[in-house]
């Protein structure tokens, strides 16, 4: 099974590119972020014509997450337990939830498409919201893995964190002044790894960015960031046979500022000798 994640930065703008890529790369399941539409506005016909079912969660023209799959999707959730909300200028625990998380089960694997809050600035309430959001997600992931210890799970999406210095090549981000690279954000990301998840792409693709800003010729200069990840449980990681960052998708007409990240999974019970060679 080939599973991928992609911040598409408006699915209605880029539906042709996304569906073409799905078919060309023979992807079975795609988690999308920043679809920027409500479910009734999602361009379903193009996906369905290509053989994909879509489940989308969007509330307005911002945020939004979705899955497209050629395989049946079950156990759909549009938030995780304890997920915090946010409303600019408001305080208190009962803020409205944004469309930033959707979970499905496909062929016995639990998958989440996640759009982690940006944070905006170190002194912005959105930064506090981001750290809380990541902490609550980690708590819920650990609870879920404890209750379903043998079931593979993967958290996929735009994490809006560059975990290491090698993951940040955009000179506009300055240590001590910018989000995405602050010690609390990096520590929040590291806690997922400390708790039993692993970055299943990095061992196979050690270097490479997944995002380049549209401004200042960031892509031609390769001044990007690695902020899109697939974090998997051990039961998921042991089935990963190949991984790719699809850098070419940042080229051409009207690209997203992110590129897809994909992994190939062996069938349940298939041993390592059956895995394809990686050159």
Is the residue at 117 inside a domain?
yes
Number of CB atoms found within 10 A of residue 253's CB: 7
Instruction: Residue 125: give its domain's CATH number.
Output: 3.60.10.10
Q: Region 66-90: what's the mean pLDDT? A: 96
**Residue 114, C-beta contacts closer than 8 angstroms, at least 6 positions apart:** 31, 33, 65, 100, 101, 137, 155, 156, 157, 158, 159
Q: Is residue 276 part of a domain?
A: no
Specify if 277 maps to a domain.
no
Q: How far apart are CA 100 and CA 158, in angstroms?
A: 10
| pTM score over 0.85 | yes
Q: What is the pLDDT of residue 56?
A: 98
Give the integer Cα–Cα distance in Å for 269 and 279.
Answer: 24
Contact present, 106 and 29 (Cβ < 8 Å) = yes
CB neighbourhood size of 97 (10 A): 14
DSSP assignment, residue 1? Answer: -
Q: Please report whether residue 130 resides in a domain.
A: yes
61 inside domain: yes
Residue 278 inside a domain? The answer is no
pLDDT per position as a tens digit, 81-130: 999 999 988 877 789 999 999 999 999 999 999 999 999 999 999 999 99
What DSSP line would sit under 93-146, residue for residue? S-PPPPS-EEEEEETTEEEEEEE-----STTSHHHHHHHHHHHHHHHHHHHHHH
pLDDT tens-digit map of 160-181: 999 999 999 999 999 999 999 9
Which single residue is written with the structure tokens 């210095």? 165
The residues, ordered by sequence, that sit 6+ positions from 277 with a Cβ below 8 Å of its Cβ are none
> Which pLDDT does position 279 carry in this prediction?
28
Task: Give the range of the structural domain holding residue 60, as residue numbers without chain letter.
Answer: 2-271
How many domains, the chain? 1
Nearest to 258, CA basis, from 18, 59, 60: 18
Query: Is position 258 within any domain?
Result: yes
- pLDDT band at 276; cut points 50, 70, 90: very low
Q: Is residue 279 part of a domain?
A: no
Average pLDDT over residues 220-240: 98
Q: Is the pLDDT of residue 273 over 60?
A: no
Q: What is the mean pLDDT of the chain?
A: 95
Please state, for a pLDDT cut of 70, what percent of the chain lies above it: 96
* pLDDT surpasses 50 at 40: yes
């Amino acid at each position: 099974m080939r599973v991928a994640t992609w911040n598409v930065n408006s699915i209605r703008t880029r539906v042709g590119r996304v569906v073409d890529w799905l078919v060309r790369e023979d992807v079975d399941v795609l988690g999308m972020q920043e679809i920027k539409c409500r479910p009734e506005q999602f361009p379903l016909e193009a996906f369905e014509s290509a053989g994909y079912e879509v489940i989308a969660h969007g509330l307005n023209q911002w945020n939004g997450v979705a899955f497209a799959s050629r395989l049946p999707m079950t156990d759909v959730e549009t938030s995780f337990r304890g997920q915090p909300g946010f409303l600019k200028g408001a305080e208190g625990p009962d803020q409205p939830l944004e469309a930033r998380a959707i979970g499905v089960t496909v062929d016995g694997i639990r998958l989440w498409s996640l759009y982690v809050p940006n944070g905006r600035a170190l002194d912005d309430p959105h930064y506090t919201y981001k750290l809380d959001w990541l902490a609550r997600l980690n708590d819920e992931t650990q609870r879920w893995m404890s209750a379903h210890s043998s079931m593979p799970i993967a958290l996929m999406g735009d994490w809006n964190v560059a975990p290491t210095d090698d993951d940040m090549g955009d000179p506009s981000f300055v240590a001590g002044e910018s989000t995405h690279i602050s010690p609390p954000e990096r520590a929040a990301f590291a806690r997922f790894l400390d708790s039993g998840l692993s970055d299943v792409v990095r061992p196979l693709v050690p270097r490479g960015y997944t995002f380049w800003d549209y401004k200042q010729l960031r892509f031609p200069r390769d001044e990007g960031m690695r902020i899109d990840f697939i974090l998997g449980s051990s039961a998921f990681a042991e089935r990963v046979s190949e991984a790719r960052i699809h850098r070419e998708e940042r080229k051409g007409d009207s690209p997203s500022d992110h590129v897809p990240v994909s992994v190939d999974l062996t069938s349940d019970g298939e041993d390592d000798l059956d895995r394809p060679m990686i050159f």
